[in-house]
Amino acid sequence: MSADPGLFATIHTMRAMRRLKPDPVPEAVLLKVLEAGTCAPSGQNLQRWAFLVVTDDAGKRFFGERYRHWLHARFGAALETAAGSSDALGRSVKAALHLADHMHEAPVLLFCCGVRDWPFAVPPEARSGLAPPSYGSIYPAVQNILLACRGLGLGASLTTMHQMFEPEMHEFFGIPDTHGVVAVIPIGYPRGKFGPVSRDPAPTKTHFNRWGQGRPGLAEPAG
């Protein structure tokens, strides 16, 4: 296991790591990751998250097959076209396709779930069907989990393609309708190397005092 790289190096090198070795992740390491997740903030500190750790073949195969099917059904030929390019998008799509083909080989599939709860802005008369899970209260835990994985030398990536077949997951894994699945994180030791993330500089996304105002010496905010 590699040494903890430190907070800022962790943040700056926490790329989606979609190529994973099949070597098992020790349960003590996984629990450390989950402890980091549950340190996250949540609305009113209600901590309405729940995690399902899937390590058995039947569960991983069930999930992997559907994930792969829906990735192709949703994005179709555009995926193969993008994967043919040698630019950053092409590399990312190739990795996403690799993950879909090998999802069932990931040592751990971590389902991050949240209690369903109507957002304040949805008035009672507009509520029908199932409420969504409170994404805002679950994503901080998801991010902590991704950072903890990186800090512990584990590869992980955030996926949401399960939205295409979530009802089937509820049935197969016995997840109650009180909860929604917010993200699925395949976790394992990385095949590749960690490297810096590629992002637009913060000033291009930042306005000061009034929308559209930048700061002398900094790049202008876009849009």
Ligand X SMILES: Cc1cc2nc3c(=O)[nH]c(=O)nc-3n(C[C@H](O)[C@H](O)[C@H](O)COP(=O)(O)O)c2cc1C
Residue 117 CB, nearest approach to ligand X (Å): 19
What are φ and ψ of residue 107, in 5° steps?
-60, -35
Gap between the Cα atoms of 56 and 59, Å rounded:
6
Closest C-alpha to 99, from 8, 25, 18? 18
Reduced to 3 states (helix: H, G, I; strand: E, B; else coil), residue 70 is: helix
Residue 198 or 209 with smaller CB distance to ligand X: 198
Residue 93 CB, nearest approach to ligand X (Å): 9
Reduced to 3 states (helix: H, G, I; strand: E, B; else coil), residue 45 is: helix
Closest C-alpha to 145, from 166, 159, 134, 125? 159
Residue 52 or 214 with smaller CB distance to ligand X: 52
Give the binding site for ligand X (CB under 6 A): 15-16, 18, 92, 96, 99, 157-161, 197-198
For 110, residues 6+ apart whose C-beta sits below 8 A from its C-beta are 33, 51, 52, 53, 54, 145, 184, 185, 186, 187
Residue 166 or 214 with smaller CB distance to ligand X: 166
- Residue 90's CB is within 10 A of a number of other CB atoms, namely 14
Residue 25 or 161 with smaller CB distance to ligand X: 161
Residue 96 or 109 with smaller CB distance to ligand X: 96
Residue 123 CB, nearest approach to ligand X (Å): 27
Residue 100 CB, nearest approach to ligand X (Å): 8
Residue 109 CB, nearest approach to ligand X (Å): 13
Residue 140 CB, nearest approach to ligand X (Å): 13
Residue 11 or 214 with smaller CB distance to ligand X: 11
Closest C-alpha to 4, from 143, 108, 147? 147
